[in-house]
């Protein structure tokens, strides 16, 4: 019987019968674990505070069969300020869905756990506008998950001071103004062209690329500390979202729902 005591973040909760919950918890060092929380639907249950979506707690867990069971729990942070605002709540739900999609069982996912905690803290405390937080999170989690774009210089001529760039959202590389025509020839073999579709491209200003470079390279706790002119925000928000969804090759209902409220 394996027993562990580790901090973990609840990223999904499902009802299990009348009284119990099946939780997906992102646990330090262990990655994603499936945890049965007996009696957690009752307000009198002693683990109730720790077994809510978004709760970050120290869990004592015992493995039986394919699941872990809670032996004890100690709340570290409930992110109460997220739960009281429907827009924040929906954004945090989307963040949980993305995290759940990219993390694996039995794999150390501490960088993603740290990113999720920093992102929740920023949402709860209004450190930045929600769309700023979302976009930076989307790009950053893509990077941590192994989809880092190469934004250092034009992928064809190495120029790094172009006024605007063509960003290939599928391959994650940039082309300067002089080389942009090569973008279409260089990828003649790609599946988009084979299927007669236009490959997703974003035309980005130098400052949007600079903001993206910042998010890609920043220290974990500083990934939100950049600013952009108001007229460049939409371009930044759009490209971060498109890039992540393209890399993961899927959409999210929670994102669609969040966006209906903007």
- Per CB under 5 A, does 177 bind Zn ion? no
Q: Considering the rule CB under 5 A, would residue 174 count as an interface residue with Zn ion?
A: no
Query: Is there binding between residue 182 and Zn ion (CB under 5 A)?
Result: no
Candidate list 71, 157, 197, 220; residue touching Zn ion; CB under 5 A:
157
Among 179, 183, 208, 215, binds Zn ion (CB under 5 A): 179
Task: Give the range of 40-48, 79-87, 154-162, 231-239 binding Zn ion by CB under 5 A.
Answer: 154-162
Q: Is 133 in the site for Zn ion (CB under 5 A)?
A: no
Nearest residue (CB) to Zn ion, 84 versus 181: 181
CB of 182 to Zn ion, least distance (A): 8
Binding region for Zn ion (CB under 5 A) out of 74-82, 90-98, 170-178, 186-194: 170-178
- Kindly indicate which of the ranges 16-24, 49-57, 71-79, 175-183 contains the residues binding Zn ion, using the contact rule CB under 5 A: 175-183
Residue 221 CA neighbour count, 13 Å, CB half = 0
Nearer Cβ to Zn ion (157/220): 157
The yes or no reply on residue 209 touching Zn ion (CB under 5 A) is no
- In the complex, what is the shortest distance from the CB of residue 160 to Zn ion, in angstroms, rounded to a whole number? 9
CB of 156 to Zn ion, least distance (A): 4
Q: Which residues bind Zn ion (CB under 5 A)?
A: 154, 156-157, 159, 176, 179
């Amino acid at each position: 019987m394996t027993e562990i005591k580790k901090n973990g973040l609840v990223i999904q909760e499902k009802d299990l019968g009348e009284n119990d919950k099946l939780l997906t918890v992102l646990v330090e060092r262990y990655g994603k674990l499936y945890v049965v929380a007996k009696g957690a639907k009752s307000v009198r249950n002693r683990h109730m505070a720790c077994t809510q979506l978004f709760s970050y707690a120290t869990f004592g867990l015992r493995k039986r069969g394919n699941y872990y069971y809670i032996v004890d729990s100690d709340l570290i942070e409930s992110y109460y300020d997220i739960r009281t605002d429907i827009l924040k709540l929906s954004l945090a739900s989307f963040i949980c869905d993305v995290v759940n999609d990219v993390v694996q069982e039995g794999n150390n996912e501490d960088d993603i756990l740290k990113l999720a905690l920093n992102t929740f803290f920023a949402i709860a405390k209004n450190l930045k506008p929600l769309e700023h937080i979302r976009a930076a999170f989307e790009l950053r989690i893509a990077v941590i998950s192994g989809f880092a774009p190469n934004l250092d210089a034009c992928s064809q001529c190495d120029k790094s001071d172009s006024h605007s760039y063509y960003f290939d959202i599928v391959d994650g590389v940039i082309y300067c103004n002089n080389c942009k025509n090569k973008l279409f020839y260089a990828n003649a073999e790609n599946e988009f062209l084979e299927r007669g579709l236009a490959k997703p491209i974003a035309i980005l200003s130098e400052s949007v690329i600079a903001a993206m470079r910042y998010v890609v390279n920043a220290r974990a706790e500083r990934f939100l500390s950049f600013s952009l002119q108001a007229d460049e925000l939409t371009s930044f928000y759009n490209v971060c979202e498109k890039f992540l969804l393209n890399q993961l090759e899927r959409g999210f209902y929670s994102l669609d729902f969040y966006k209906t409220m903007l």
